[in-house]
Amino acid sequence: MRLRWFAGRWMKSPWWPERFAVPAALREQIRQGWMRWLVRRIPRAQQVRLTQKNIFIFPSMAGWVFLLFLAVMLLTAINYRNNMVFLLTFMMAGMFVMAIHHTFFHLSGLVLVAGQAKPVFAGQMAAFELVLERSSARTYPLLELAFDGGEPQLASVFSPVTRLRLHVLMPQRGYQSPPRIRVENRYPLGLLRAWTWVDLDMHVVVYPRPLTAPSPQSDGGQQREGKAREQAGMDDFHQLRDYQAGDSLRHVAWKNYAKGQPLQTRQYHSIQDEQLWLDWQQFAGMADESRLSRLCFQVLEAHRQGLRYGMRLPGEALPPASGDAQREQALRMLALYGQDAGGASS
């Protein structure tokens, strides 16, 4: 009976996710408080010098095991009154204290400078250049650097300037900033971990993720203005041809005729390029991000085909042109649509 009563009470009580909801919320509050303190302690900057104000140091897992081993050795020496164990314990404790100094020394004084990053498409990895400068003759072996949540990368700074690239996933379009960078050192013994979280002022333009759309050459709703045509007597010189009755005397090559050549007429032509417009309205009824992704696909296709194209977005338009500059300008317009180009999204 008591077992049935207990089982009934358990089934009526909240299931385990609700039981752990309070600790999870508490962890989130602690994390947010830590981030607010970190923003005040290490604000965003173009370059950061590592000093005692922004370096944290704590025993590593191996360090905690080492300290536990020292405690056992000390208790053993006290219990058995063994001078040799005392000597070995104090020597190892001194080595641990010296490791604190060297671990901190091989991280302090390093200068981190923000670099550039090339634009990427949403869902791709952005490569941010990072410059490491040493301000003195000291070296920095076996540093570990990584964006928050990113893959770590090992680097050693032996020259005055060292450059490396850190990669981080960019899931959303726009003018984006990467997360903080963790710089960590466990040299020389691995007993202690000295680290910092720096927030370098770096940004990258993230283009929309391309989604398949009608080809710019098809009749998928694109607007074309103008028509290619050739006319005589306009714009640029094209070629010489034999004179025909009715040709304008203004176009006769009189100089060539004076030199004894046959009577010829200068032929001019004018070509008005067909202009392709990629228009926001051709994807009416879709969400904004879906429209931007399909326009991004059409920009890439138009550039690949060597077309001359323009683009219309609500409140702005890009005049028709072709080439790499037109492609970059069109993709940047799509990436920054609805955002302020001067500020980064967090």
| H and E: helices and strands count for the chain | 8, 18
Q: Across residues 252-271, what is the average pLDDT?
A: 70
At residue 7, does pLDDT exceed 50? no
Q: Is residue 64 left, alpha or beta, with left meaning phi > 0 and alpha meaning psi from -120 to 50? A: alpha
As a whole number of angstroms, the distance between CA 107 and CA 97 comes to 17
Tell me the β-bridge partners of 265: 241, 252
At residue 115, does pLDDT exceed 70? yes
Q: Across residues 26-38, what is the average pLDDT?
A: 85
DSSP SS3 for 160? coil
184 within 8 A of 143, measured Cβ to Cβ: yes
At residue 157, does pLDDT exceed 70? yes
Q: Across residues 18-37, what is the average pLDDT?
A: 76
Counted residue by residue, the chain has a size of 346
As a whole number of angstroms, the distance between CA 156 and CA 56 comes to 20
Q: Which pLDDT score is estimated for 213? A: 84
170 within 8 A of 125, measured Cβ to Cβ: yes
At residue 34, does pLDDT exceed 90? no
Q: Across residues 61-87, what is the average pLDDT?
A: 94
